[in-house]
Amino acid sequence: MKIIKKKSELKELLYSLSNQKIGFVPTMGALHAGHISLIKASKSRCDLTICSIYVNPTQFSSQKDLRNYPTDAKKDIKLLKKHHCDILFIPNDFELYENNLKSNEFDLNNFDKFMEGEYRPGHFQGVATVVTKLFKIVSPDIAFFGEKDLQQLIIIKYISKELDLKIVSVPTVREKNGIALSSRNINLTKDSFKSATIIFESLCYCRDHINKYDIVTLKNKVKKLFESSKLNLEYLEFVSIKTMHPVDVICDNLAICIAATIENIRLIDNIIINAEETN
Ligand code: PAF
């Protein structure tokens, strides 16, 4: 695996490989099996797989959250080598932002109005900024993103519409106890890890009782469950995947999305109920 830090070097290399189908997996590191499923998806569809690791400051609304974001470059490199990633791009702030560490302003079609957009102001502008910068450098044929960050996935699909690339989504990978894999899980204590199973359990409860109760009742039942847990429920929303806006009645293309915190660690998850293909 070739490790590249400079965008000029990566561009030069990619120029010399211009007839290859390029798959791109952008990440913020602290890699886990969810990321590896993206690498595998890329390897199965593309000639060359590029992964990037860059903890993007502009998508963090809190400096503390940015500082606490887990990193483990050595382990990441080992894992990527094991899974035969071809190129790892690890830029620094200057390579991507020069001296202007700020988000650009994107039209996000109001996909950022609720949920993560509401709880993390500016988050998706930061994501859109860094992803478009990376796409410009890598020029991938296909870029791969996980369904776990569903709102991010829909937004990236939207901002990529005019670009000459395909966005492929890959299903969420879970721990045996149902918890969605996330880089942030590393910061959970054993106890918190156990308690956090309530997140996926609540999603499954809603999915399994969707024909029995209305949305308000389901939300209330989940709220009650959280009240007797160690987690703080930020939101539970039933949204249309077409708009990422909450709905009050069950409809097609529905996703149930949830965010909760435990010991200041923020976890998100979702279940897609009856969508047309997300790809
Ligand atoms: O999902 C992530 O890891 C990040 O939001 C991304 C897409 C790599 C942009 O920094």
For 56-104, the three-class secondary structure string (H helix, E strand, C coil) is CHHHCCCHHHHHHCCCCHHHHHHHHHHCCCCEEECCCHHHHHCCCCCCC
| pLDDT computed for residue 279 by the predictor | 65
Give the Cα separation of 229 and 233 in Å (integer).
Answer: 10
| pLDDT computed for residue 154 by the predictor | 98
Ligand 1 centre from 58 Cα, in Å? 11
Where exactly are the structural domains of the chain?
Answer: 2-170, 183-272
Give the Cα separation of 128 and 1 in Å (integer).
Answer: 27
Ligand 1 centre from 26 Cα, in Å? 6
| pLDDT computed for residue 18 by the predictor | 84
Cα–Cα nearest to 154, from 180, 128, 178, 134:
128
- Residue 126 is inside which H or E element, if any? helix 123-138
Confirm if 22 and 139 have CB atoms less than 8 A apart. Answer: yes
Q: What DSSP state is assigned to residue 160?
A: T
55 lines ligand 1 (CB under 6 A): no
Ligand 1 centre from 65 Cα, in Å? 14
Structure tokens at 106: 């994107």
Confirm if 231 and 195 have CB atoms less than 8 A apart. Answer: yes
Q: Which CATH class is domain 183-272?
A: alpha beta
CATH number of 2-170: 3.40.50.620
β-bridge mates for residue 76, sequence order: none
- Catalytic, 35? Answer yes
3-state secondary structure of 221: helix
| pLDDT computed for residue 47 by the predictor | 98
Q: What is the pLDDT along the chain (279 residues), one digit of tens a residue?
A: 999 999 999 999 999 998 999 999 999 999 999 999 999 999 999 999 999 999 999 999 999 999 999 999 999 999 999 999 999 999 999 999 999 999 999 999 999 999 999 999 999 999 999 999 999 999 999 999 999 999 999 999 999 998 999 999 999 999 999 999 999 999 999 999 999 999 999 999 999 999 999 999 999 999 999 999 999 999 999 999 999 999 999 999 999 999 999 999 999 999 999 766 666
147 lines ligand 1 (CB under 6 A): no
**Cα Rg of the chain, angstroms:** 19
127 lines ligand 1 (CB under 6 A): yes
